[in-house]
Amino acid sequence: MRPDGRQTNELRDMQIIPGWNKHAEGSVLIEVGDTRVLCTATVEDRVPPFMKGQGRGWVTAEYAMLPRATGTRNQREAAKGKLGGRTMEIQRLIGRALRSVVDLAALGERSVTLDCDVLQADGGTRTTSITGAFVAMALAMQKLVDNGQLKKLPITDYLASVSVGIVNGQPVLDLNYAEDSQAKVDMNVVMTGNGAFVEVQGTGEEAPFTRDELNALLALAEEGIGQMIAKQKAVLGSVGDRIEEAATYASRS
Amino acid sequence: MRPDGRQTNELRDMQIIPGWNKHAEGSVLIEVGDTRVLCTATVEDRVPPFMKGQGRGWVTAEYAMLPRATGTRNQREAAKGKLGGRTMEIQRLIGRALRSVVDLAALGERSVTLDCDVLQADGGTRTTSITGAFVAMALAMQKLVDNGQLKKLPITDYLASVSVGIVNGQPVLDLNYAEDSQAKVDMNVVMTGNGAFVEVQGTGEEAPFTRDELNALLALAEEGIGQMIAKQKAVLGSVGDRIEEAATYASRS
Amino acid sequence: MRPDGRQTNELRDMQIIPGWNKHAEGSVLIEVGDTRVLCTATVEDRVPPFMKGQGRGWVTAEYAMLPRATGTRNQREAAKGKLGGRTMEIQRLIGRALRSVVDLAALGERSVTLDCDVLQADGGTRTTSITGAFVAMALAMQKLVDNGQLKKLPITDYLASVSVGIVNGQPVLDLNYAEDSQAKVDMNVVMTGNGAFVEVQGTGEEAPFTRDELNALLALAEEGIGQMIAKQKAVLGSVGDRIEEAATYASRS
Amino acid sequence: MRPDGRQTNELRDMQIIPGWNKHAEGSVLIEVGDTRVLCTATVEDRVPPFMKGQGRGWVTAEYAMLPRATGTRNQREAAKGKLGGRTMEIQRLIGRALRSVVDLAALGERSVTLDCDVLQADGGTRTTSITGAFVAMALAMQKLVDNGQLKKLPITDYLASVSVGIVNGQPVLDLNYAEDSQAKVDMNVVMTGNGAFVEVQGTGEEAPFTRDELNALLALAEEGIGQMIAKQKAVLGSVGDRIEEAATYASRS
Amino acid sequence: MRPDGRQTNELRDMQIIPGWNKHAEGSVLIEVGDTRVLCTATVEDRVPPFMKGQGRGWVTAEYAMLPRATGTRNQREAAKGKLGGRTMEIQRLIGRALRSVVDLAALGERSVTLDCDVLQADGGTRTTSITGAFVAMALAMQKLVDNGQLKKLPITDYLASVSVGIVNGQPVLDLNYAEDSQAKVDMNVVMTGNGAFVEVQGTGEEAPFTRDELNALLALAEEGIGQMIAKQKAVLGSVGDRIEEAATYASRS
Amino acid sequence: MRPDGRQTNELRDMQIIPGWNKHAEGSVLIEVGDTRVLCTATVEDRVPPFMKGQGRGWVTAEYAMLPRATGTRNQREAAKGKLGGRTMEIQRLIGRALRSVVDLAALGERSVTLDCDVLQADGGTRTTSITGAFVAMALAMQKLVDNGQLKKLPITDYLASVSVGIVNGQPVLDLNYAEDSQAKVDMNVVMTGNGAFVEVQGTGEEAPFTRDELNALLALAEEGIGQMIAKQKAVLGSVGDRIEEAATYASRS
């Protein structure tokens, strides 16, 4: 039995509120259990220096936690004067994951920046950020289509992410903070709508894990991500239909 | 006629949602028009080095804007590696203003940190932060009373803040971003429930102002702040009653 | 009776020595009581990026204290690796105040940087910096006229600044450090030669203040600033005459 | 056929020279193909603040590349004034991996810092660092045993790491730089002597990967790491025997 | 003939004004030609961490140039967020030079910090700083004697510094900026009252120099420093007499 | 008798291994006693901003110590976020010394960066860096000649460096760490193949030194540097012959 009464293969409640920020080209407030992240997508007509002149776009992400997103207050990284290793690792992960489902050539020389700000944390902030940022990105790119700046959505498939881990010897899906702090093995998985893996990051610092345990964790992740993508589709409506077509087409080829 | 149809002495709609963050000792989500700020109050049993051993507490504030709180995206200060001058000026103002209504000796060697994070900006983010942070602080201090750590609320009066300015030659109350960008004179006023001034910061960079104009602006601010404090009282309920008593008592003495 | 025997409405001795630095386009060593500030004005034929291509100039300021300007030594901000909030607040104030009396369009795409370095501090360093920097700026701009780079002085009025405050329940003018440390209310006022306000920054962190107190403080400031501007005129000589004409003309229109 | 003529499941030549640095408690120069890393282990009789007073030790790592370790020169992070995201990610990984085979309680309140400096890079610098740092750490800890500071080696198993990836549609083992730059899927694997996983970090930014591909990559990694650990044993000699005993014991329990 | 008409072995005019800063324990404004440096000495009853508990004192220096000390404005190091290499090199030199004539054991666990701020530069700012800082330090240490905190002045000899160089093929003494910029060889020399060398820093980046040239430069420096020390004595008066006695005593032993 | 049995005028063993790094245009691993430095030379077809458009090249150096190059571990400067004063002083010295024997006009608008990374330290790391970097630079510049990018080697003479000092009252050559820590006078000397001085940096912080002592130290340095240059020639072979010709030609003119 899990602390909040969930089954081992049960996700927490998930809510995605689109358009929560009036300025951003795309935005969502995503809540997974008590984890609450504001994801905004900003479109700019320029790319970073290393991408210039290639006719291709770029997708990148930044991640931060408000100081009191957690049980005790954390000092702001702006006040410390530098980004911590954890922050950098997470924002690199989010950016990499999102780029895996974007056709950067089709995007053209534009950049999309996903800002994922954790307003309240209860485990799974990086996976929740990816799941929410995908929707914010899709909304922002759809605006480029609506404005006539792009012919079609440069997204090749859905994308969502969840954490899995071994807690009390049991593989479980979507760990909250209490579970995360006592997990022996901790794994973050990012998958596409077609069921392929984009990232698998498993760590057994507390206790190395076997091939069988790895397989059990991947199975849980697959199941959870499928449900998350269904909710993304519900929020995206007609925008989502076009992603689905692209993904179906891609999976056939 | 103002851009959003308000009278010159009319505030924007204001909403204060208490308890928006589950971890903080006190928190509110405050919305003034389209300006939306999350204010959390963190209580810690220690004071900064310069305050140690005096038996008195400390109240301080930090302020930040999410990158896409504004019409175009701003680079994070954490990524730049330093706080900008505007940020420092604002957080010093918020902390100073709040301390003016706290009895630091009665608070004991504790610190209360107010984090004001602007989730969406449309003018008046610093005054909205003060108005919201006051409520978050009161809620956190009430918790100290409820826990038996303090005998009574160490707050001496209500506190709220509003901006006023001269736009198109006309003194107006509570400027939104569109008005703020074309104001010739810009003033932020912080006042107590007893109607005394805590901060008056008027700037006529575009056009110096006369004594009469100053008086007209102060009158507008007084009117607006009175209405804001009425809303704070409604949110604070019985907590607010004790502040009122303290203020009444103080004003008599 | 004040610690140094002055009347409540009496300024400290003020000395302005023009040309104290041989390299700068304009410079003064200004002494107000024991507060001693070196103000240099540097003219450069370029403007900051955000001003480029508008045909307008820019005026900005930097402020610093030598480590032993004060009673105990302060660590250098260069050694700390960052500017403190107080420094940023002050240099933003100085720049804003000076720009209020400059016709930036008439200045053309040039920038004038005022460096205000406090060599010795005894209260009022920010107001003294403004009063001195105005003269250094006027001298530097006059050089542009003398060189034929400008047709006429792009200054629209005189500008000076003083602090006022409530000390021992008494409104007083031009606080020295001893008075400043025990003031309940502290206010910095910047005014033009025509008697208009450019900045009013009043803070009642220790004790909120009433409308009447505010009025008494403003009256003291008006009186003091008038005397300061008379001294600026004496130092500027014929350069000053042209400012006066511009101001007279402006006040009529 | 791979660029350097290796089979898909063939490691590059690997050399481990122990004692390359005369000052460090443990050190190796490790070469895997043309990748050359100096790993030093420093033992100190103190732990980081967050570990104090728990009677347990700490193992941590730092990683850096010399500016000309690569084909074109990289700016030093010391000159930039901050560590990049990649560096932080790698050093967190190395530390985490090493801690997984250390009995921190048995180590006592001591810290071991592994410095991994890449003198020349040709792919796989993070995995080579882990494989080399393990040996340097074992040598340093053996010195604690030899000095009588520890009763027995606080290491529970061998540890080594290798990269695998999909290059030209083919899963291959131990990628050099040329292969790494064209890999569609890239995975770093860390395993113990007992064949358990400590870290699995797979990324399909260029092309998501299937469960079958994941399995093929893990099989290659298992094979390569087994060979690497055999070489570590040869270098460690009698020190290695004790690790083996500990691991055998651990795997039985 | 030199640009300002001096002989090759002629110093510029030198003025030392003691007590220029009212707060510092010792201070001088020193002018050598148009180079003008404010040197303040701060005494504190503590030593840096690496000196604690040894019963010995410490002398250290900091050096900075005001932005407009030079012909064109230099960006502040505080604004850049770090000290440049030149600044660090100079302040290390000043501290080292001063320590060479201080009996740190006799000073006791106190530190003396010499702040050398260049208000106007015209060549030789580092040598002028040393010559001025010596006097400021002596005044501050005398105050410790006067207060009864020290029995006798912990200074073992006079100390002054000058630059020499080869300009237009000619060895010259005390270069101003114009000469310095065209010198082929540039040397800074620090000597004691007894005529011993404390620092010799000669650089022939533009043209290596011979042993004979080196000797000619050292002879010029010896001559100039002797004259500088005579002026220091005149300023120090009776304080200086005690230094002379200490030095005489030291030179005999 | 010296700690390692050397004569007062005896160098430590010196080894220069060219081509130790496969990526750099020129590289050596240099060992002087137990001091071991990796020097790489990077050639780039651009110069720093302040050199642009002059048709001349630039030579610069960076210096660093690995954390465990020394007996106790030093924190990385990249982790501290800034370069220390000692590092800056040393890298400025190395760059300046190397430029003294390069014909920057003949080099053309190219820059050569010498990275000197101390892998193990036992005294004399800055002088060893200069001696090694000279060879790495010569190899890199020879490559420009071999590629046809330059007509002839833009080097005007050999260059090497050694430390000398007074230890136990005795002038000695090439101090190791044990000697360096107890030296009363410490001097670094850089000389050319023609026997001219490029840098003389003598410091008598512990005890001022006389003209005779200075002369004895310079004589030792001359002798040692002559032997070092002989070893550089042996390593450089035919490249060295061309430097010798240039130097002979230069010394005649």
- Chains within contact range of chain F (3+ C-beta pairs < 8 Å): D, E
Number of residue pairs across A and D with CB atoms under 8 Å? 100
- Mean pLDDT confidence for B100-104: 96
Strand partners, E137: none
Q: By CB neighbour count within 10 A (0-12 exposed, 13-18 middle, 19+ buried), where does A158 fall?
A: buried
Cα–Cα distance measured from residue F240 to residue C193, given in angstroms and rounded to the nearest whole number = 75
Q: By CB neighbour count within 10 A (0-12 exposed, 13-18 middle, 19+ buried), where does C33 fall?
A: buried
CB-CB under 8 Å, F204 with E214: no
Helices (H), B33-189: 77-80, 85-99, 104-107, 125-146, 177-182
DSSP state, residue D214: H
Q: What is the pLDDT of residues F195-215, one digit of tens each?
A: 999 999 999 988 899 999 999
Instruction: Supply the pLDDT for residue B74.
Output: 96
What Rg value do the Cα atoms of chain C yield, rounded? 18
DSSP state, residue D46: -
In chain D, the residue whose alpha carbon lies closest to the alpha carbon of F76 is D78
Cα–Cα distance measured from residue D88 to residue A86, given in angstroms and rounded to the nearest whole number = 8
CB-CB under 8 Å, C68 with E42: yes
- Mean pLDDT confidence for E211-235: 97
Q: What is the pLDDT of residues B161-177, one digit of tens each?
A: 999 999 999 999 999 99
CB-CB under 8 Å, A82 with D85: no
pLDDT at C252 over 90: no
Instruction: Supply the pLDDT for residue B238.
Output: 85
- Chains within contact range of chain E (3+ C-beta pairs < 8 Å): C, F
- Mean pLDDT confidence for D61-71: 98
pTM: 0.92
Chain B contact set for C82 (CB, 8 A): 82
To which H or E segment does residue D167 belong?
strand D159-167
E127 annotated binding-site participant: no
| Structure-block tokens of residue E119 | 């208000």
Give SS3 for E26.
Answer: strand
Instruction: Supply the pLDDT for residue E185.
Output: 96
Find residues 42-81 of chain E whose CB sits inside 8 Å of chain C.
42, 44, 62, 64, 66-71, 73, 76-81
Q: What is the pLDDT of residues A69-84, one digit of tens each?
A: 999 999 999 999 889 9
Instruction: Supply the pLDDT for residue D241.
Output: 84
Sign of the CA dihedral with B144 first, then B145, B147, and B148 last: positive
CB-CB under 8 Å, F120 with D23: yes
A245's CB contacts (< 8 A; 6+ apart) are: none
Q: F27, F225, F200: which is closest to F116 by C-alpha? A: F27
Q: Average pLDDT, whole number, for chain E?
A: 95
Measured between CB atoms, does C251 come within 8 Å of chain B?
no
F124 annotated binding-site participant: yes
Determine how β-strand D170-173 pairs with β-strand E35-44: unpaired
- Chains within contact range of chain C (3+ C-beta pairs < 8 Å): B, E
Instruction: Supply the pLDDT for residue B8.
Output: 97
Chain C contact set for B207 (CB, 8 A): 100
Closest partner CB to C68 (pick from E21, E69, E73): E21
Closest partner CB to D209 (pick from A85, A91, A197): A197
Instruction: Supply the pLDDT for residue B122.
Output: 98
CB C203 within 8 A of CB C185: yes
Instruction: Supply the pLDDT for residue D253.
Output: 65
Cα–Cα distance measured from residue B136 to residue B125, given in angstroms and rounded to the nearest whole number = 16
E76 annotated binding-site participant: no
pLDDT at D163 over 70: yes
Q: What is the pLDDT of residues A114-133, one digit of tens each?
A: 999 999 999 999 999 999 99
CB-CB under 8 Å, D196 with A199: no
Measured between CB atoms, does B252 come within 8 Å of chain A?
no
Sign of the CA dihedral with C63 first, then C68, C72, and C75 last: positive
- Mean pLDDT confidence for A17-25: 98
Cα–Cα distance measured from residue F10 to residue F24, given in angstroms and rounded to the nearest whole number = 33
pLDDT at E251 over 80: no
In chain C, the residue whose alpha carbon lies closest to the alpha carbon of B84 is C88
To which H or E segment does residue B116 belong?
strand B111-120
CB-CB under 8 Å, E79 with C38: no
CB F189 within 8 A of CB F126: no
- Chains within contact range of chain B (3+ C-beta pairs < 8 Å): A, C
CB-CB under 8 Å, E66 with C67: no
Chain B contact set for A80 (CB, 8 A): 78
CB-CB under 8 Å, A77 with B119: no
- Mean pLDDT confidence for C110-125: 98
pLDDT at C234 over 90: yes
Measured between CB atoms, does E17 come within 8 Å of chain C?
no
Instruction: Supply the pLDDT for residue B241.
Output: 84
Å from C20 to nearest chain E CA?
A: 9
Instruction: Supply the pLDDT for residue D245.
Output: 83
Q: E123, E166, E162: which is closest to E8 by C-alpha? A: E166
E86 annotated binding-site participant: yes
Q: What is the pLDDT of residues C12-34, one digit of tens each?
A: 999 999 999 999 999 999 999 99
Instruction: Supply the pLDDT for residue C253.
Output: 65
To which H or E segment does residue D182 belong?
helix D177-182
- Mean pLDDT confidence for D67-72: 97
- Mean pLDDT confidence for F85-99: 96
Measured between CB atoms, does D202 come within 8 Å of chain A?
yes
- Mean pLDDT confidence for B175-191: 96
Q: What's chain C look like in SS3?
A: CCCCCCCCCCCCCEEEEECCCCCCCEEEEEEECCEEEEEEEEEECCCCHHHCCCCCCEEEEEEEECCCCCCCCCCCHHHHCCCCHHHHHHHHHHHHHHHCCECHHHHCCCEEEEEEEEEECCCCHHHHHHHHHHHHHHHHHHHHHHCCCCCCCCECCCEEEEEEEEECCEEEECCCHHHHHHCCEEEEEEEECCCCEEEEEEECCCCCECHHHHHHHHHHHHHHHHHHHHHHHHHHCHHHHHHHHHHHHHHHC
Instruction: Supply the pLDDT for residue A246.
Output: 81
List the beta strands (DSSP E) in B136-251: 159-167, 170-173, 185-192, 197-203
- Per-state percent for chain A, helix, strand, coil, to nearest 5: 40, 30, 35
Q: Which of F70, F117, F137 to mutate to test the interface with D (most CBs of D within 10 A)?
A: F117
Other Cβ atoms closer than 10 A to C156: 21
Q: How confident is the model at residue E253 (pLDDT cuts 50, 70, 90)?
A: low
Chain F contact set for D82 (CB, 8 A): 78, 81
Instruction: Supply the pLDDT for residue A253.
Output: 65
CB F205 within 8 A of CB E198: yes
Instruction: Supply the pLDDT for residue B81.
Output: 87
ipTM of the complex: 0.95
- Mean pLDDT confidence for E132-142: 98
Strand ordering across the sheet containing F185-192: E170-173, E159-167, E185-192, E197-203, F197-203, F185-192, F159-167, F170-173
- Percentage of chain C beyond pLDDT 70 is 100
CB-CB under 8 Å, B78 with A82: yes
CA angle D118, D91, D215 (to 5 degrees): 95
Sign of the CA dihedral with E237 first, then E240, E245, and E251 last: negative
Closest partner CB to F73 (pick from D66, D71, D113): D113
Q: D170, D211, D204: which is closest to D184 by C-alpha? A: D204
Other Cβ atoms closer than 10 A to D246: 20
Least confident of A197-201, C235-239, D52-56, D83-87: C235-239
Cα–Cα distance measured from residue B136 to residue B114, given in angstroms and rounded to the nearest whole number = 8
pLDDT at E250 over 80: no
Q: C196, C193, C189: which is closest to C171 by C-alpha? A: C189
Q: How confident is the model at residue F86 (pLDDT cuts 50, 70, 90)?
A: very high
Q: C147, C184, C148, C137: which is closest to C164 by C-alpha? A: C184
Other Cβ atoms closer than 10 A to A170: 11
In chain C, the residue whose alpha carbon lies closest to the alpha carbon of B208 is C198
| Structure-block tokens of residue D171 | 């899963």
- Mean pLDDT confidence for B195-199: 97
Q: E55, E125, E101: which is closest to E246 by C-alpha? A: E101
| Structure-block tokens of residue D16 | 């481990």
Q: What's chain F look like in SS3?
A: CCCCCCCCCCCCCEEEEECCCCCCCEEEEEEECCEEEEEEEEEECCCCHHHCCCCCCEEEEEEEECCCCCCCCCCCHHHHCCCCHHHHHHHHHHHHHHHCCECHHHHCCCEEEEEEEEEECCCCHHHHHHHHHHHHHHHHHHHHHHCCCCCCCCECCCEEEEEEEEECCEEEECCCHHHHHHCCEEEEEEEECCCCEEEEEEECCCCCECHHHHHHHHHHHHHHHHHHHHHHHHHHCHHHHHHHHHHHHHHHC
In chain D, the residue whose alpha carbon lies closest to the alpha carbon of F66 is D117
Q: Average pLDDT, whole number, for chain B?
A: 95
Annotation: binding site of C: 86, 124-126
Cα–Cα distance measured from residue C92 to residue F37, given in angstroms and rounded to the nearest whole number = 48
Closest partner CB to D88 (pick from A88, A192, A206): A88
Q: What is the pLDDT of residues E85-124, one digit of tens each?
A: 999 999 999 999 999 999 999 999 999 999 999 999 999 9
Residue corresponding to tokens 């020399």? E189
Q: How confident is the model at residue B253 (pLDDT cuts 50, 70, 90)?
A: low
pLDDT at B245 over 90: no
Chain E contact set for C117 (CB, 8 A): 66
Chain F contact set for D67 (CB, 8 A): 40, 42, 62, 113, 115
Instruction: Supply the pLDDT for residue F253.
Output: 65
- Percentage of chain E beyond pLDDT 90 is 90
Phi/psi at B75 (nearest 5 deg)? -65, 145
Measured between CB atoms, does B100 come within 8 Å of chain C?
yes
Å from A152 to nearest chain B CA?
A: 24
Å from B203 to nearest chain C CA?
A: 5
Q: Average pLDDT, whole number, for chain A?
A: 95
- Chains within contact range of chain D (3+ C-beta pairs < 8 Å): A, F
Cα–Cα distance measured from residue B45 to residue B112, given in angstroms and rounded to the nearest whole number = 9
Give me the torsion for CA of F104, F105, F108, F111, rounded to 10°.
Answer: 20
Tell which phi-psi region holds residue C238, choosing left (phi > 0), alpha (psi between -120 and 50) or beta: alpha
Measured between CB atoms, does A209 come within 8 Å of chain D?
yes
pLDDT at F238 over 90: no
Closest partner CB to F67 (pick from D66, D82, D115): D115
pLDDT at E244 over 90: no
Measured between CB atoms, does B21 come within 8 Å of chain A?
yes
Cα–Cα distance measured from residue F176 to residue E223, given in angstroms and rounded to the nearest whole number = 36
Helices (H), chain E: 77-80, 85-99, 104-107, 125-146, 177-182, 211-236, 238-252
The residue among D248 and C188 whose pLDDT is bigger is C188
CB-CB under 8 Å, C40 with E115: no
CB D136 within 8 A of CB D193: no
Q: B144, B210, B40, A198: which is closest to C196 by C-alpha? A: B210
CB-CB under 8 Å, D78 with F78: yes
